[in-house]
Amino acid sequence: MFTKMRILLLANHADPLVSLGAREAGGQNVYVDYLSRNLSYLGIDVDVFTRASSLDKPSVVQVNDHLRVIRITAGPRRYLPRGTYLKDNFQKIMNQFSQGVLSNIQNEGLHYDLIYSNYWSSGLAGKTLAEKLKLPQLHMYHTIGEVRKMVFKKLNLEKTDALLKKRIVSEKLIAESVPHLVATNPTEKKLLTGIGASPKNITVLPIGVDTNIFHPEDTQLARARLKIDLACQMTLYVGRIDTSKGLETLLQGFSRVSHDQPNAKLYIVGGSLNAAEYKREISPLKKLARQLRIEQEIVFAGPVEQKSLYLYYSASDVVVVSSYYETFGIVPLEAMACGTPVVASRVGGLIHTIKPGKTGHLFKVYDHISLSKQIKKVLRNGKASYSKACIDWVNQNYRWDEITKQYSDHFSKVLVKKDKRPYHKHSDYPGFVHA
């Protein structure tokens, strides 16, 4: 088993150092951040290459002796939404990104042992770089375009634009040609085989949670710190304000809960850091809340720093993940690590991370009546009847420090199959400079 390696981690769509709540931030950013950091703690050298999305952020950040984040200029140095610019200029931007990564490697005279690409666009860049550098490539999808297409069709929100079509074709190409694919759970593995991947090329490796940050706090103390009514029955949503997250279903379901529970409150945490954008995001939800006559029972708390999220989880009686699709889902792990049960839609990886009846319950996706019944069940049973099982489940299966060892072992196995090259200390590589 190799004790030393250097990884080229591609995450053009997910800068691991971006502030959560920013438009370009999400679960993928959290994953890249925690995986790269924990690999570095094992002494593994990791360079994360991402697309520069801001003029005021440095091009290179030396996070620690074994981890760097390198921002490559590809297209304008600003956030690029799924709008006209990105659709019309996608190929040009990705060519600039791949060439920028390659130029950086050549200028510093670096040697990497493998490429780990994240998300479909990085997967395409990874294929180009793997061929040029003669390196093995591993790839994680995070989300799958074909699933997204089916969800929006179900909602009568047809969004199969040119970029999504290219994504679906590209993901199939990656599935058929990249020899090492990482799925986060058995359901995702099955989905990957459905788009052309060979089962023998797929390894299941879960995502973890940082139990140093996400840990139980006394519910009453957490509420006191957040100035939340000690007597209310608190339901919590954490995540992006996005159609795919099922917030309309959540509000409809919660309206039935609040009808039976006069002291019920729903806190919605998440959204843009930009005040004007945040106002636009939540405007449709406020309108729906008024129509449902529950506007007084809903608190839009806005974006919250990750280091403070544990207080909201701990203050809550139940956390709801109402997503219409969710490849894995980090929020349930964070909630359970804080001892709070989760009610989640029965889709994707959520069916594996939740233990129904033990750490929470699952409801029928899109079905607000099913959702309301499961929330009521948790409130009726009481948070205390789930808390120990939640904490034990996370500690036994989803701690980042343990999961990172699984990744390290898998990377080593890939390299054993490739060749028997010796491995070097980080400082042995030309071009390495401490910040």
Together in a domain, 170 and 39: yes
The answer to whether position 289 is within a domain reads: yes
Together in a domain, 91 and 15: yes
Judging by beta carbons within 10 Å of its beta carbon (0-12, 13-18, 19+), is residue 5 exposed, middle or buried?
buried
Q: pLDDT band at residue 432, thresholds of 50, 70 and 90?
A: very low
The answer to whether position 429 is within a domain reads: no
Per-residue pLDDT of 43-95, as tens digits, reads 999 999 999 988 889 999 999 999 999 999 999 998 887 555 566 788 899 99
Together in a domain, 70 and 190: yes
Q: pLDDT value at position 154?
A: 82
Q: For residue 423, what are the CA distances in angstroms to 10, 169, 239?
A: 21, 37, 41
Question: What is the average per-residue pLDDT within 176-187?
Answer: 96
Q: pLDDT value at position 22?
A: 59
Judging by beta carbons within 10 Å of its beta carbon (0-12, 13-18, 19+), is residue 109 exposed, middle or buried?
exposed
Question: What is the average per-residue pLDDT within 170-176?
Answer: 96
The answer to whether position 235 is within a domain reads: yes
Helix (H) or strand (E) holding 217: none
Per-residue pLDDT of 11-35, as tens digits, reads 998 999 987 655 667 789 999 999 9
Together in a domain, 45 and 168: yes
Per-residue pLDDT of 225-253, as tens digits, reads 999 999 999 999 999 898 889 999 999 99
Q: How is residue 145 written in tokens?
A: 């375009």
Question: What is the average per-residue pLDDT within 269-285?
Answer: 93
Together in a domain, 392 and 403: no
The answer to whether position 113 is within a domain reads: yes
349: pLDDT strictly greater than 50: yes
Q: How is residue 104 written in tokens?
A: 């950086």
The answer to whether position 430 is within a domain reads: no
CB distance 413 to 400 below 8 Å:
no
Q: What is the DSSP letter of 113?
A: S
Three-state SS string over 177-197 comes to HCCEEEECCHHHHHHHHHCCC
Together in a domain, 176 and 283: no
Instruction: Give the closest residue to 226 by CA, choosing from 265, 281, 260.
Output: 265
Together in a domain, 119 and 177: yes
What range does the domain containing 283 cover?
219-396
Question: 87-96, 150-159, 376-385: which has the highest mean pLDDT?
Answer: 376-385
Q: pLDDT value at position 85?
A: 58
Q: pLDDT value at position 148?
A: 86
Q: pLDDT value at position 421?
A: 40
Instruction: Give the closest residue to 2 by CA, choosing from 113, 135, 136, 105.
Output: 113
The answer to whether position 340 is within a domain reads: yes
Q: pLDDT value at position 19?
A: 73
Question: What is the average per-residue pLDDT within 172-192?
Answer: 96
Together in a domain, 161 and 254: no
Q: pLDDT value at position 21?
A: 57
CB distance 341 to 386 below 8 Å:
yes
Residue 300, domain CATH: 3.40.50.2000
Together in a domain, 72 and 134: yes
* Residue 188 C-beta-side C-alpha neighbours within 13 Å: 27
**How many other CB atoms sit within 10 Å of the CB of residue 295?**
13
Q: pLDDT band at residue 272, thresholds of 50, 70 and 90?
A: confident
Of 85-89, 119-123, 192-196, 358-362, where does mean pLDDT reach its minimum? 85-89
Helix (H) or strand (E) holding 280: helix 275-292
Listed in order, strand segments (DSSP E) in 172-274 are: 180-183, 202-204, 233-238, 264-269
Q: Quote the number of domains for the chain.
A: 2
- 351 vs 1, which has greater pLDDT? 351
Task: List, in sequence order, the alpha helices (H) in 109-197.
Answer: 120-133, 145-154, 162-177, 186-194
The answer to whether position 299 is within a domain reads: yes
Residue 262's contacts (CB-CB under 8 Å, 6 or more residues apart) are none
Together in a domain, 15 and 32: yes
Question: What is the average per-residue pLDDT within 370-393?
Answer: 98
Q: pLDDT value at position 159?
A: 59
Q: pLDDT value at position 383?
A: 98
- 24 vs 330, which has greater pLDDT? 330
Residue type, 51: R
In three-state secondary structure terms, 67 is strand
Q: pLDDT value at position 378?
A: 98
376: pLDDT strictly greater than 70: yes
pTM over 0.85: yes
Together in a domain, 410 and 269: no
CB distance 301 to 312 below 8 Å:
yes
- 79 vs 138, which has greater pLDDT? 138
Together in a domain, 321 and 403: no
Question: What is the average per-residue pLDDT within 368-374?
Answer: 98
The answer to whether position 425 is within a domain reads: no
